[in-house]
Structure 1
Amino acid sequence: SIVASHFKPEFVVNVKETGKIRMVDYSDIHNLKETEIEAARFLHDGGWDASKRYFLVAANQSNKVAVVDAKEGKLAGLVDVGKIPHPGRGANFVHPKYGPVWATGHLGDDPIALIGTDPEKHKDNAWKMVQSLKGQGGGPL
């Protein structure tokens, strides 16, 4: 996936099989600058947290979700989740116990992973799977 930062002229580029994320600064279109971030193999697609600062991307064959801090240009976290996290936008909401979370399903499986997304007010829950909900059927196919 390729998404644009909400903070600066920069793209977040997931290089799937390599497990690397590239931050591509396009402020000078004739002299692109890249920063490479190690994450987890088989990065696919993902979505922004509610603040639009953090991009959460499924590394689906690694059973992880990588969290990129688009403001700082670095990896904020690598979250262990269930088997084959869904490579989609996910959903943001405020959980009554864990605060802001990002939710995603798993391909061919029931669980819905909730990942804490507020490192300032809910530091203990940030970039962790705080809850796994039982979904219906075979996951978001």
Structure 2
Amino acid sequence: MIATDPEKHTQYAWKVVHVLEGQGGGSLFAKTHPQSRNLWVDTPLNPDAKISQSVAVFDIDNLDKGYEVLPIAEWANLGDGPKRVVQPEYNKAGDEVWFSVWNGKDQRSAIVVVDDKTRKLKAVINDPRIITP
């Protein structure tokens, strides 16, 4: 992790402040929110389907504890396909995290909504119009 607040913490700006061991290589996005105690990390480029179809969640108050793996693609219930889980995004309130589940170009994709506090599935948006371009 790097610090990115050059105005209030210039001594740490753009410097490594902590190294986390996640599920493996292939991460694109790590996300948290000012109202959250979680750090969500995707791994859509990892060649292992079990890893690319899930996310790691860290407790930011206890980073050394490790991470919990959530089976986001399994929750999407899309059937066959690569189902790469990508780009956690918070809602404005910071109590939900939304994930895109990208599937093959001729297969349905989905959006999975997770409760940030409980880390439990809240909803799956699964519509024939959701196709990964």
* TM superposition score category, shorter chain reference: 0.5 to 0.7
Q: Map 1:29-108 to 2 at 5 A.
A: 36-49=20-33, 51-60=35-44, 61=46, 62=51, 63-74=53-64, 75-82=66-73, 83-86=83-86, 88-92=87-91, 100-108=95-103
Q: How many residues end up aligned between the 2 structures?
A: 106
Q: 1:85 is matched by which residue type in structure 2?
A: V
Deviation at 1:38, TM superposition (A): 4.2
Name the one with the larger strand percent: 1
RMSD: 3.4
- 8 Å CA contact 1:100, 1:116 repeated in 2: yes
Q: Map 1:2-13 to 2 at 5 A.
A: 2-4=1-3
- 8 Å CA contact 2:22, 2:56 repeated in 1: no
Name the one with the larger helix percent: 2
What stretches of structure 2 of length at least 5 have no aligned partner? 74-82
Q: 2:109 is matched by which residue type in structure 1?
A: D
Whole-Å Cα distance in 2 between the matches of residues 138 and 71 of structure 1?
Answer: 37
Higher relative contact order (CA 8 A, sep 6+): 2
Whole-Å Cα distance in 2 between the matches of residues 66 and 10 of structure 1?
Answer: 25
Q: Provide the residue aligned with 1:29 in structure 2.
A: none
Deviation at 1:111, TM superposition (A): 1.0
Q: 1:92 is matched by which residue type in structure 2?
A: N
What stretches of structure 1 of length at least 5 have no aligned partner? 12-23, 26-33, 119-125
Name the TM-score, length of structure 1 as normaliser.
0.55
Whole-Å Cα distance in 2 between the matches of residues 80 and 57 of structure 1?
Answer: 13
Name the TM-score, length of structure 2 as normaliser.
0.58
Bigger radius of gyration? 2
Whole-Å Cα distance in 1 between the matches of residues 88 and 20 of structure 2?
Answer: 23
Whole-Å Cα distance in 1 between the matches of residues 70 and 95 of structure 2?
Answer: 16
- 8 Å CA contact 1:5, 1:70 repeated in 2: no
- 8 Å CA contact 2:42, 2:88 repeated in 1: no
Identity %: 12
Deviation at 1:103, TM superposition (A): 0.6
